[in-house]
Structure 1
Amino acid sequence: MMRQYELVERVAQYNPNVDEALLNRAYVYSMKKHGDQKRASGDPYFSHPLEVAGILTRMRLDDATIATALLHDTIEDTDATRAEIDQLFGEEIGKLVEGLTKIGRLHLVSQEDKQGENLRKLLLAVADDVRVLLVKLADRLHNMRTLYWVPPEKRQRIAEETMDVYAPLAGKMGIHWMREELEHLAFTVLYPDDAAMIERRLAERRAALGSLLADIEADLAEYLRANNVQATVSGREKKPYSIYLKMKRKHINFDNLSDIYGFRIIVATIPDCYSALGVIHTMWQSVPNRFKDYISTPKQNDYRSIHTTVVGPRKQRVELQIRTEEMHRVAEFGIAAHGFYKDGDVRTRHELAHDSRAYAWLRHTIELLSDGGSSAEFLENTKLELFQDRVFCFTPRGKLIALPPGATPIDFAYQVHTDVGNTCTGCKINGHLRPLVTPLQSGDEVEILCEAGASPPSAWNALAVTGKARAAIRRANREADRRKFVRLGNQLIDNEVSRRHLREGVDLTVAADRMNYADGEALAYAVGNGTVPAGDVLGALGHPEPDETAIPPEASPVSVPIRGAGGDLPVHFAPKLYAIPGDKIVGILDPGRGVTVYPANAGDALSAFAAEPQRWLDLSWDLSGGDETLFPVPVKLVVANECGALAEIAGTIAEEGGNIDELTMTQKTPQFREMNLHIEVRDRAHLARILDRLRGLPIIAEAGRIAN
């Protein structure tokens, strides 16, 4: 176990102004509080916080963080209190320890809703100070290193939690070495057979290659030196979990892998990076499409490097990473490489956010918490952000937008601004009009076309890739649905007033107060979604349900005007029952969904609601404003079996402004074909014109609408 003076010496190596008294007090306090407590391995419990502190010294963290590591389990596992920590070590350290105590009580692998809520709590615990997350990551790393002593069922849960949450978080914070070790340790627990197989095959491959890797390393260093590029070259082997993922992703076996080994080239300056690249591509043939420049376009976690793959000696593919010493430090230590103290003062969150893209990502993810939505939605969105890599696209003004692979212009629009996404109606990619579902590639220039008053269709939620876009679409859909239900509720209340032949209107504010609703809009929403009958609102205002015989005949019925699905009311059409403007229609109030429209002649379907007269609504078509909405209607045609018949039918329908939505062949004879078509029309008159034109064709023996 590390001694007290050894810990202080480690910190002093990178911080000459180390507060020895603080670290000594924390060391002694933690050791006394944990006393005779033991770990599952039988070691003194105090060895754990001490090892966590040792891990954090590798990342050169400040004194307060090291002290927090020593104290991080005291409130949870001993009789220590937050007040006592504040008194002895200061409020800053007390707040950090309390944040870690809250995280320690969370189980991040559980039922989905609970898991999402716990992930919310974890991110909120690190919202004010990312050092809480860094201590927690180090805590998890040491627990994974000693996982062998934990009971098997608990071991599985901890490994799942590590693979699902903590390893990706370490990656997002840019702490490459920690992410790799966490993944490796979890991999050996979750997939022990696969891990053992890959370890065995790697050992065999090393033995077969012999001195090849050392020879390549020496050749690279010598060739760079001969071309006046001073560099440090080191070989590396792909980690077993990374190999496992590639085998699954590419559906290949171990023998087909060609890039298990790679080399890291560390140079002094950025120009040296590109000079080294030129030397290497002159020395060995480069592999097409295996070049990435993360120096000019860094990853979201601040990672910068040049990646290239070449065909080296013995026709062996070799991956190369070229970077400066500073880039290497950021690649290994991520957000911790930016330093948490400067000139003796702890850096503020804003200073750190200015330097670190990784911290900016963390803040952005935490901001999603304010967007509402369910815990399951938040979990889905956050996991999307955790696991995705990036593609880089540009706005027409040259602003760089980072997105996950597979992202579409919908995601791009929401990344620019939520209002841009909500009003998006189309896009141009590299100057050409493209569908909004087009997957974006790095380097694409994307122009979003917007229209005032537009809103995102609910189908976009299935097309969006980023959590930000999905959350914004869901929020916009909820707001649009609410507006529709409020409008319907107001309409139903007005209709009830007219039906009862009341001369004065109603004051919804008064009714809402009497019925315990926040305001008139909330009450109208409840009426619109079927929670409250419109008659109850009038009853609350002192207008009891009248005797039906007292209602003047001319006051009833009162119809609700509808324009169609997708308008400003929550309207749906009954499936497989086709109504078009001009048909008589009725509505059934469907609580939570709005109004379902039925043709008045759909007797069998409507009979199911005969015992619920309160759900029936009189509807009328509102076609004011020149709306060109098309409605599908089924049509039966009997057509002569001649070449080009279908083309002639389609052309005739198109000439009349209609559109064929579906077509099925229901019967065939040598002379005739029977077809069922769904034709999209504006109204009954439009359908009549199309049918008249079709009946006039020599190839048509019969044409008519199929009855519901």
Structure 2
Amino acid sequence: MLTLTAKHHLKVQKFILFCTVWLMLMKNDGDLMLEEYNRLIEKLKSNGKEYNWGLIEKAYKFACIAHEGQKRSSGEPFVIHPLQVAYILAEMEMDTATVVAGMLHDTVEDSSFTYENTLKNFGEEIANLVDGVTKLAKIPYTNKQEIQAENLRKMFLAMSKDIRVIIIKLADRLHNMRTLKYKPREKQIEIAQETLDIYAPLAHRLGIYKVKWELEDLSFRYLHEKEYYDLAEKIAKKRKEREEYIENIMKTVAEKAMEMGIEAHIDGRPKHLYSIYMKMKRQHKELDQIYDLFAIRVIVNTVKDCYAVLGLVHELYKPMPGRFKDYISMPKPNMYQSLHTTVIGPEGIPFEVQIRTWEMHRIAEVGIAAHWKYKEGGRQNDDLSEKLAWLRQLLDWQKETTDPDEFMENLKIDLFTDEVFVFTPKGDVKCLKAGSTPIDFAYAIHSDIGNRMIGAKVNGRIESLDYELKNGDIVEIITSATSKGPSRDWLKKVKTSQARNKINQWFKKEKRDENIARGRELFEKELKKQGLSSQQILKPEIFAAAFKKYNYHDMDDLYLAIGLDAISSGKAVSRLKEEYRKTLPPEEQKQLLEEEKKKELSKKQKERPAPETGVIVKGIENCLVRLSRCCNPVPGDEIVGYITRGRGVSVHRKDCINIQSNLNDNERLIEVEWYKGKAASYQAELAVKAHDRTHLLLEITNVISDAGVPLKAINARTTKDNVAVMNLTVEITDTEQLEKIINRIRRVPDVFEITRNNK
């Protein structure tokens, strides 16, 4: 009987592994897989870095075995996908561990291999990277929003431990988008929308612009297919003409740079389709009206050369005011550095110029991936940790946000908006989200500054707390030791999650009892509204089941969350109600559902949509109704309907001259009434007479404007007797508002008559 030592056993395992892979490579798909692997190796060699080639080859064989027999939607071997992901990571010049994790990122999710297999074969660092990228298993969340929110929570948590996790995730998403054409149309739209909402902005936040632009253009292609191909076709038609234009500019700049002794690499960069599309939408313009479709990029050796080239460009071409940005002296939070200027070129056509060094260019392409360096033991260096401060803020905010809808909405608004650079009085730069207020600025400095804030000076002037900060503003926060703390209204004014989180923390700590009382009151109102009693649903087992995914340990925790607006009372009651229903016998569950359906139907019937004219014809639904122009009735007027021939019901004021002449025709008169719902707007005509003088018309229009009433039309003339006659058309909601306007105009000096027109 032959016995094997552990050493021999390992050799046998390796031999079996080798034979398995060799047999696979002999199949038809083997050539394609090997070709893709060799392409990856060539790319890694071109990087000129040291790699663990043995570990990379081992990962390739491991992935081949794990995905043996698996196919993608395109029909190609599944292992082509992880190889392509590894290739994208190689383009970013990532290290061995990241490239290997890219090849293995689907092995735990889509094969029989486990985390322990990866740990045993490739070590803790790579196993943790693979685990960080692996998607969540199927968790029984109540809706799709919760699934997406939990996926993102896990992703951000993994990012905080090792930023390479998200770099692999972005490479994975990029290759999936490149092969999205093989998915069903419904799936294409879903994946493209998520990419545009989450992954492209995340690539922007990390400064990986090369990935960001491609993700945006691919998402645009699937979400707005017609607009994408129309735009691509229009741009292609004029490409040659534009290329000749930009070539001449590049030649001129290159020659002048050479004369100055500056070594410069210059290329033309067409703007990406999605950015052109968004510009057309924002500015409501056609493609022919968008001139800066191209930018030129100048790459030089030193920072000194960057500013020298900027001076040269401004000598050659006239700069457009307000379009110069210096991201070298003030880098973006994602480490992006460059000089941007827009100038007027030949023929009066504007174009953008970007100027940067080679190192800045590398960072602009791969962003955070250029700074992934780790100390021994896998810990991030201090410089990288500082640049990821926004991620720590996000994680702190997550702990306070239990509602998935709020999480997703704020994530899109708060994390992925543009930045604004503002200064402290000492000259320190603070980067905030665009639209931030002095309150956001105060909390960005320190919690105590925000909590003791009573006002703010912007550029030396006192400004309101909802003032929108602009680039270059110098902000001074005014504090007081006797301040009572933040106001609840501040939560509506702040734009950053950091400020919102700190304000909520203050209320949670300082006004716990008050917020619990507020939450209890809102909860009980909602219970009553939904026809429930606390005895029915406030049972320990129901509470535990409803909120097992949240940090609510008892009812006080829930009341506090409602009081702080962390969860709405409606959602809290609905969750409890759902769990309560599960405890009922099947017959009672069915009965409860039927009752709810009846209530919902009754509610819909009561909430009849407001008619466009704001008038209801008694006894008739979906009837064509129009307001008569002869008397312009508005809510508050007594009205009557007149059945016209072929034009539905015409609504008149009861004192209208035209309706008075038809009072005998009772068969065509019909009862109508004003809709008692949300106020609509109506036009009313006023005739004003006054002794003419200077500024009379201005004073009357100012009175109307100050009342917040739109002035839709005006017609004025002066008679031989020096009497000003004005016909005004104003937009009001009812006769009460109209009467107020009439009284205000009547008080204007020299006005002696004002009447409502009745033609």
TM-score by length of 2: 0.62
SS at match of 1:349: coil
- Mapped pair 1:388 → 2:439: no
Q: 1:132 aligns with which of 155, 165, 169?
A: 165
- Mapped pair 1:353 → 2:384: yes
- Mapped pair 1:455 → 2:485: yes
Give the equivalent residue in structure 2 for 1:221.
Answer: 254
Q: 1:362 aligns with which of 366, 370, 391?
A: 391
Tell me how large the CA RMSD over aligned residues is.
Answer: 3.4
Q: CA deviation at 1:9?
A: 3.8
> For structure 1, which segment, 214-223 or 275-284, has the greater mean C-alpha deviation from structure 2 after superposition?
214-223
- Mapped pair 1:430 → 2:459: yes
Give the equivalent residue in structure 2 for 1:635.
Answer: none
Q: CA deviation at 1:488?
A: 10
Give the equivalent residue in structure 2 for 1:466.
Answer: 496
Give the equivalent residue in structure 2 for 1:324.
Answer: 357
Could you tell me which runs of 5 or more consecutive residues in structure 1 were left unpaired when the two chains were aligned: 490-515, 530-663, 676-708
* Residue identity matched to 1:393: V
Give the equivalent residue in structure 2 for 1:53.
Answer: 86
Give the equivalent residue in structure 1 for 2:287.
Answer: 254
Q: CA deviation at 1:519?
A: 11
Counterpart Cα distance in 1 of 2:398 and 2:67: 36
- Mapped pair 1:73 → 2:106: yes
| CA deviation map 1:487-528 (0-9, x unaligned) | 999xxxxxxxxxxxxxxxxxxxxxxxxxx99999989999x9
- Mapped pair 1:100 → 2:130: no
- Mapped pair 1:441 → 2:470: yes
SS at match of 2:324: strand
Could you tell me which runs of 5 or more consecutive residues in structure 2 were left unpaired when the two chains were aligned: 1-31, 520-543, 545-551, 565-735, 748-759
- Asked if the contact 2:146–2:404 (Cα under 8 Å) also holds between the matched residues in 1, the reply is yes
Q: CA deviation at 1:14?
A: 2.9
Could you say if the C-alpha distance between residues 247 and 346 of structure 1 is closer, same or farther in structure 2, counting changes exceeding 3 Å? farther
Counterpart Cα distance in 2 of 1:296 and 1:168: 24
The aligned length equals 509
Q: CA deviation at 1:341?
A: 5.2
SS at match of 1:79: coil
| Percent of paired sites with the same residue | 41
Could you say if the C-alpha distance between residues 425 and 27 of structure 1 is closer, same or farther in structure 2, counting changes exceeding 3 Å? same
Give the equivalent residue in structure 2 for 1:580.
Answer: none
Counterpart Cα distance in 2 of 1:475 and 1:289: 39
Q: CA deviation at 1:271?
A: 0.8
Q: CA deviation at 1:281?
A: 0.6
- Asked if the contact 2:452–2:485 (Cα under 8 Å) also holds between the matched residues in 1, the reply is yes
Q: CA deviation at 1:268?
A: 0.7
Could you say if the C-alpha distance between residues 222 and 458 of structure 1 is closer, same or farther in structure 2, counting changes exceeding 3 Å? same
Could you say if the C-alpha distance between residues 227 and 263 of structure 1 is closer, same or farther in structure 2, counting changes exceeding 3 Å? same
Could you say if the C-alpha distance between residues 15 and 83 of structure 1 is closer, same or farther in structure 2, counting changes exceeding 3 Å? farther
- Asked if the contact 1:394–1:446 (Cα under 8 Å) also holds between the matched residues in 2, the reply is yes
Could you say if the C-alpha distance between residues 484 and 209 of structure 1 is closer, same or farther in structure 2, counting changes exceeding 3 Å? closer
Give the equivalent residue in structure 2 for 1:302.
Answer: 335
Q: CA deviation at 1:125?
A: 2.5
SS at match of 2:195: helix
- Asked if the contact 1:340–1:347 (Cα under 8 Å) also holds between the matched residues in 2, the reply is no
Counterpart Cα distance in 1 of 2:555 and 2:111: 53
Could you say if the C-alpha distance between residues 186 and 47 of structure 1 is closer, same or farther in structure 2, counting changes exceeding 3 Å? same
* Residue identity matched to 1:135: I
Counterpart Cα distance in 1 of 2:129 and 2:439: 39
Give the equivalent residue in structure 2 for 1:155.
Answer: 188
| CA deviation map 1:278-301 (0-9, x unaligned) | 111111111111100011111111
* Residue identity matched to 1:427: A
SS at match of 1:35: coil
Counterpart Cα distance in 2 of 1:467 and 1:370: 12
- Asked if the contact 1:425–1:454 (Cα under 8 Å) also holds between the matched residues in 2, the reply is no
Correspondence 1:2-151 to 2 at 5 A? 2-14=35-47, 16-102=49-135, 111-151=144-184
- Asked if the contact 2:208–2:367 (Cα under 8 Å) also holds between the matched residues in 1, the reply is yes
Counterpart Cα distance in 2 of 1:306 and 1:451: 41
| CA deviation map 1:63-87 (0-9, x unaligned) | 0111111111111111001111111
* Residue identity matched to 2:108: I
Counterpart Cα distance in 2 of 1:166 and 1:488: 38
Q: 2:346 aligns with which of 313, 330, 336?
A: 313
Could you say if the C-alpha distance between residues 349 and 255 of structure 1 is closer, same or farther in structure 2, counting changes exceeding 3 Å? same
Counterpart Cα distance in 2 of 1:451 and 1:56: 52
> For structure 1, which segment, 458-467 or 142-151, has the greater mean C-alpha deviation from structure 2 after superposition?
458-467
Counterpart Cα distance in 2 of 1:402 and 1:672: 48
Q: 2:368 aligns with which of 318, 324, 335?
A: 335
Could you say if the C-alpha distance between residues 114 and 473 of structure 1 is closer, same or farther in structure 2, counting changes exceeding 3 Å? farther
SS at match of 2:353: strand
Could you say if the C-alpha distance between residues 143 and 3 of structure 1 is closer, same or farther in structure 2, counting changes exceeding 3 Å? closer
Could you say if the C-alpha distance between residues 430 and 107 of structure 1 is closer, same or farther in structure 2, counting changes exceeding 3 Å? farther
SS at match of 2:291: coil
SS at match of 2:484: coil
- Asked if the contact 1:107–1:115 (Cα under 8 Å) also holds between the matched residues in 2, the reply is no
> For structure 1, which segment, 202-211 or 159-168, has the greater mean C-alpha deviation from structure 2 after superposition?
202-211
Give the equivalent residue in structure 2 for 1:683.
Answer: none
Q: CA deviation at 1:486?
A: 7.0
* Residue identity matched to 1:401: K
Could you say if the C-alpha distance between residues 22 and 666 of structure 1 is closer, same or farther in structure 2, counting changes exceeding 3 Å? closer
Counterpart Cα distance in 2 of 1:138 and 1:42: 21
Q: CA deviation at 1:433?
A: 1.4
- Asked if the contact 2:516–2:560 (Cα under 8 Å) also holds between the matched residues in 1, the reply is yes
> For structure 1, which segment, 155-164 or 480-489, has the greater mean C-alpha deviation from structure 2 after superposition?
480-489
- Mapped pair 1:207 → 2:240: yes
Could you say if the C-alpha distance between residues 283 and 139 of structure 1 is closer, same or farther in structure 2, counting changes exceeding 3 Å? same
Could you say if the C-alpha distance between residues 352 and 81 of structure 1 is closer, same or farther in structure 2, counting changes exceeding 3 Å? farther
Counterpart Cα distance in 1 of 2:440 and 2:461: 18
Give the equivalent residue in structure 2 for 1:605.
Answer: none
* Residue identity matched to 2:380: R
> For structure 1, which segment, 332-341 or 262-271, has the greater mean C-alpha deviation from structure 2 after superposition?
332-341
> For structure 1, which segment, 51-60 or 418-427, has the greater mean C-alpha deviation from structure 2 after superposition?
418-427
> For structure 1, which segment, 93-102 or 50-59, has the greater mean C-alpha deviation from structure 2 after superposition?
93-102
- Asked if the contact 2:297–2:354 (Cα under 8 Å) also holds between the matched residues in 1, the reply is yes
| CA deviation map 1:238-297 (0-9, x unaligned) | 111001111111122211112111100001111111100111111111111110001111
- Asked if the contact 1:381–1:468 (Cα under 8 Å) also holds between the matched residues in 2, the reply is no
Counterpart Cα distance in 1 of 2:142 and 2:246: 41
Give the equivalent residue in structure 2 for 1:684.
Answer: none
Counterpart Cα distance in 2 of 1:109 and 1:184: 33
Counterpart Cα distance in 1 of 2:367 and 2:743: 76
Correspondence 1:480-559 to 2 at 5 A? 480-484=510-514
Q: CA deviation at 1:667?
A: 8.3
Give the equivalent residue in structure 2 for 1:415.
Answer: 444
Correspondence 1:569-588 to 2 at 5 A? none
